[in-house]
Structures are given as structure tokens and as C-alpha cells.
Amino acid sequence: MSLSVGDVAPEFSLPDQDKHVVSLADLRGRPVLVVFYPFAFSGICTGELCQLRDELAGYTEAGVEVVAISTDPTFSLKAFREKEGFEFPLLSDFWPHGDTARAYGVFNDKAGMALRGTFLVDADGTIAFAEVNQPGDPRAQSGWKDAVAALPTAA
């Protein structure tokens, strides 16, 4: 079962495409958009992450950190990031395989991959937006933008 709005976001510490560890705890104090996707280089995933890349300024200008997580190894993520020019970290949930996706309730055991789960974690670590799409079901990112717009602004 995936997480819902109001739940505390599970902590994670995962290597990025350059093997630098990124922890949710280190990002505390600002909102974080956590985007799970099945596989690097797959058609729908590439389209979704390229749209996120192209619209990244809308998130960063709102003070939102963006991280994308898949069960791919870091080597694949590095090649994917370089090919597509992503400026946000691609995190590897490769080993223990899918543990972070499981914690968020978006791991597909039969396929060994993350579902298309999207979670906006507020500055305090609470889920402010949650959406899970099944394999082959692309996400509409308008909901993410609405959730970011609804975040309280810093005083």
C-alpha cells in the first residue's frame, strides 16, 4: 500500500548517478519532489523525466528539490543523465533491491521495478501530494505543479 497525504515520508539514503549519497534527511527544511520511475531509457520514463527537465525551473523557483528514483544501477543512471541532460539527481534503489520503493509502497515485486509513484514531501517531512500510476500509465504532471503551488510559502 502506498503512502497518502499526511503520512510521514520514509527516510532514504541512496547513491546518485555519481555514487554520491543523497539522503532525504539532508534535504529537510525544504520541499522535495520524489519521482519514482520504472527504468532508465524506457520510452514513457524518458518522456516523463524529459518533461520534468524542461519544466524544472518551475519547481526550483518554488524552492523544491527534485529527485528521481529507479531500481537501475548507478552506471545506467549516469549514462541516462548524460544522454538526456537531466540537472536533478537520479538515485539508485538497486541494492538492497527496491527497498526505498517498498517503503513508499510503489515496488512491483513481480517485475522488480518501481511503479510511477510521485510524492511531494513538505519541508517538515510530511507527504503533501501522493500519486501512483501503474506500468504503461503515464503521469500528468499538472497535479504535481498544483501541489507545489499549494505549499505554504516561507515567511
Question: How do residues 123-148 score in pLDDT, each as one tens digit?
Answer: 999 999 999 998 788 888 888 888 89
User: Does residue 155 lie in a domain region?
Assistant: no
Q: At 112, phi and psi to the nearest 5?
A: 70, 35
Count: domains in the chain: 1
Determine the Cα–Cα distance for residues 123 and 120; give it in Å rounded to an integer: 10
User: Does residue 97 lie in a domain region?
Assistant: yes
pLDDT > 90: percent of the chain: 84
User: Does residue 98 lie in a domain region?
Assistant: yes
Question: How do residues 101-112 score in pLDDT, each as one tens digit?
Answer: 999 999 999 999
Asked if the peptide bond before residue 96 counts as cis, ω within 30 degrees of 0, the response is: yes
* Burial class of residue 8, CB neighbours in 10 A (0-12, 13-18, 19+): exposed
Q: Which of 44-53, 120-129, 145-154 has the lowest mean pLDDT?
A: 145-154
Determine the Cα–Cα distance for residues 5 and 86; give it in Å rounded to an integer: 28
Residue 2: pLDDT band with limits 50, 70, 90: confident
User: Does residue 125 lie in a domain region?
Assistant: yes
User: Does residue 40 lie in a domain region?
Assistant: yes
Nine cell digits for residue 24: 532525504
User: Does residue 4 lie in a domain region?
Assistant: no
Residue 32, domain extent: 13-150
Q: Which of 34-38, 50-54, 101-105, 138-142 has the lowest mean pLDDT?
A: 138-142
User: Does residue 56 lie in a domain region?
Assistant: yes
Out of 3, 22, 45, 114, pick the active-site residue.
Answer: 45
Mean pLDDT, all residues of the chain: 94
The CATH number of the domain holding residue 135 is 3.40.30.10
User: Does residue 129 lie in a domain region?
Assistant: yes
Residue 155: pLDDT band with limits 50, 70, 90: very low
Residue 13: pLDDT band with limits 50, 70, 90: very high
> What pLDDT, on a 0 to 100 scale, did the predictor assign at position 4?
92
50 is catalytic: no
